[in-house]
A and B are shown apart, each in its own frame.
Chain A
């Protein structure tokens, strides 16, 4: 993932007028620019925020995609042709990341210098950052894993246990419900982050990292149960 310093003014290669580095097209002469060095938000001329207007984002994505289409550069300079491809790739990455609520949240947290998921695991070896475990879930997670194991063993010896199956289906629904609750909580944090000052943002970020951990845990469980039930 490309995360560079925030936009710095550069001169347009064509008209030489200085412009903001984050733009795909020169605001003065409209010529295509090399892939800019800003973050994904700046590709869309947005400030980092979490509660995004998705229809507007999609509209802007289509508008920029059309402007970058290789057909429009059929008779352009070699550089411009290359940039149209590179800019399109960047635009696609930016759009895919920003339109997805979870990926967007993770991306913004990374922009803010936080490490999440697998990336943070290796750094925890020195214990400076203690494991963030959804402790209230552990007991339930452990029991569910026991049930899953039991179910798989029963399957292996060709025995179907309807009670076990029903229990797992119920557990799956419960965990899926918990996931929805996490998503709601995340959305609430978005609003706080978007409107908050530096302190409020930092607090919200910490809570979001914890929520994402919890969500990952839950989604792995739901996946495991689904696999076992469907096997």
Chain B
């Protein structure tokens, strides 16, 4: 199966790889995994408490090229958005942007789950009322 140019680009030059301080109240951590392929993805956000804007996003993904590209793209997209805006990102947007084939759609689902888990974790830390949407995804730790 051929990867699209965009997947290859993200795979070769992943954006925002790294780690944020998990203990910080401004940081939300989402750790998700796909049992079917063994992929595991950690996505972290640092949110400005005043503006609710995601100022920093980092990820580390162990998995296939599509999983790495999906999470790399996800961090690019959520940076600079408010938390609520970031929740609007759907896996189908990632599929479109990266031209993922059907067998790799679950990679995009994983990335969306990771965003939600990270935001869910941040909300939990900050005692904000979780929206019904976010409540369906539990922060994975």
Contact = CB atoms under 8 A, between A and B. Distances in A.
A121 B42 contact: no
Contacts of A141: 33, 40
A88 to B, nearest CB: 33
Given A125-B106, A125-B109, A127-B109, A138 B32 contact: yes
Interface stretch (A59-67, A191-199, A216-224): A216-224
Given A135-B138, A135-B140, A142-B62, A121 B36 contact: yes
Nearest to A213: B35
A28 interface: no
Contacts of A133: 32-35, 140
B109 A221 contact: no
Nearest to A119: B36
Given A122-B106, A124-B109, A125-B91, A131 B34 contact: yes
Contacts, number: 81
A216 B105 CA distance: 19
Interface in B98-123: 102-103, 105-106, 108-110, 113
Interface string B16-36: 000000000000000111111
A125 B32 contact: no
Interface residues of A, number: 29
Contacts of A149: 62
Contacts of A118: 36-37, 103
B31 A131 contact: no
B105 A142 contact: no
B126 interface: no
A19 interface: no
B13 interface: no
Given A138-B141, A217-B38, A125 B105 contact: yes
Contact of B33 (A117, A122, A217): A217
A134 interface: yes
B48 interface: no
A138 B41 CA distance: 9
A138 B109 CA distance: 17
Interface string B75-94: 00000000000000001100
Contacts of A132: 35
A146 B91 CA distance: 26
B136 interface: yes
B33 A138 contact: yes
Contact of A120 (B32, B36, B40): B36
A216 B140 contact: no
**Most chain A C-beta atoms within 10 Å of own C-beta, residue among B37, B95, B102:** B37
Interface of B: 31-38, 40, 42, 60, 62, 91-92, 95, 102-103, 105-106, 108-110, 113, 136-138, 140-141
12 contacts: A121-B105, A122-B102, A124-B106, A131-B35, A133-B34, A139-B141, A142-B31, A142-B62, A213-B36, A217-B35, A217-B38, A220-B37
> Which 8 A-B pairs give the minimum distances between C-beta atoms?
A213-B35, A220-B38, A121-B106, A145-B62, A121-B36, A125-B105, A133-B33, A138-B31
